[in-house]
Homo-oligomer: A and B are copies of this chain.
Amino acid sequence: MHGAVIHAPGDVRFETLDDPEILEPTDAIIRTAVTCVCGTDLWPWRGLDATGEAHPMGHEYVGFVEAVGGEVTSVEPGQFAVGSFATSDNTCANCRNGWQSNCVNREFMTTCQAEYVRIPNAQGTLVATEEVPGEEFWPGLLAVSDVMGTGWYAAEAAEVRPGSTAVVVGDGAVGLCGVIAAREMGAERIIAMSRHESRQELAREFGATDIVTERGEDGVARIKEMTDGIGVDSVLECVGTGQAMRQALHSARPGGNVGFVGLPHEVAIDGEELFFTHVGLRGGPAPVRRYLPDLIDRVLSGRIDPGKVFDLTLPLEQVEEGYRAMDERRAVKALLTP
């Protein structure tokens, strides 16, 4: 089979690879329907995370169950299945507490920009749809497996409530999905921070009521101006830089909440400053598995369409162009079709 391999920053190749095999009785093999490039894939692409030895890439997938190990009974060959970028047995204490992305047997997916993918912990990770959905739903279901699930978690961690006011920091795919989540959870006012016209447009389509183009402390000042100097109830931090975290913490009202889902890169939080804000802070890799049944329903019923974050579709063999287009911000998110 073929798939993407990163050799160095800026060097992702489409190569011939060994077909994945069932290694554990808890594995499944998926034939990829669609996959994509994630914002976090850009960290090694840009050389901001070490790439180390050449290795496959990708952690988002939906597809057809091709084979299952002896202990997998929840899905069967031929079914269309959605999973999460973090696999989970869905039975351990952490899974039972709803934190499947902290499963004691968790393995992060890392080989999904490929024609076939081995899924560890398949029993607890994959959710099959009742029928094979039409191709028009595939991008939305793919979004659910990562960015939509992550935006949902950001809104949940930020404790978005009906009638509340939310700010979304970050206008990438996760931030845009965070807007969808905040709207679904009933936020009355959703302020998207974005300076890119096409992203602003999509944010508005997804439910943003206001756009703030200023960044950093100027952005915070604008938010304060819009909220009688108090700040907002909930902030979804969908970037992962120190500046984005400061912007998030300073935009929240006293006693408000920040949900942070951008993988933090050199982010330090001052305990005394956090103390006096009364702001609640929770982050992490989203427990997507917990949301899958609900989010799959919302996509298949047409209630939400997070697939719209894919504004570029490429054949899988052009995966490198997907990285380049996202790096240069020519695309929000690149869909790859095997």
Contact = CB atoms under 8 A, between A and B. Distances in A.
Given A99-B255, A253-B94, A274 B281 contact: yes
Interface string A260-280: 100111111111101111111
Interface stretch (A8-16, A174-182, A282-290): A282-290
Interface residues of A, number: 39
Contacts of A269: 268-271, 274
Interface-centre pick from A97, A98, A275 (highest chain B CB count, 10 A): A275
A277 B268 CA distance: 15
Interface string A155-169: 001000000000000
A173 interface: no
A183 B260 CA distance: 31
Given A264-B272, A269-B269, A271-B267, A254 B285 contact: no
Interface string A126-138: 0000000000000
A271 B245 contact: yes
A230 B93 contact: yes
A97 B254 contact: yes
Contacts of A276: 102, 284-285
Given A97-B253, A245-B271, A268-B268, A281 B280 contact: yes
A328 interface: no
A294 interface: no
A264 B273 CA distance: 9
A228 interface: yes
A278 B282 contact: yes
Nearest to A269: B269
Contacts of A93: 228, 230, 253
Interface string A78-106: 00000000000000011001110110000
A285 B272 CA distance: 11
B97 A255 contact: yes
Contacts of A266: 271
A264 B271 CA distance: 6
Contacts of A263: 272, 275
A290 to B, nearest CB: 10
A267 B276 CA distance: 13
Contacts of A265: 272
A242 B264 CA distance: 20
Interface of A: 93-94, 97-99, 101-102, 157, 228, 230, 242, 245, 253-255, 260, 263-272, 274-285, 287
Given A97-B255, A268-B269, A278-B282, 18 more contacts: A93-B230, A94-B253, A97-B253, A97-B254, A99-B278, A101-B278, A102-B255, A102-B277, A260-B271, A263-B275, A264-B275, A267-B272, A269-B271, A274-B281, A275-B285, A277-B284, A278-B283, A278-B287
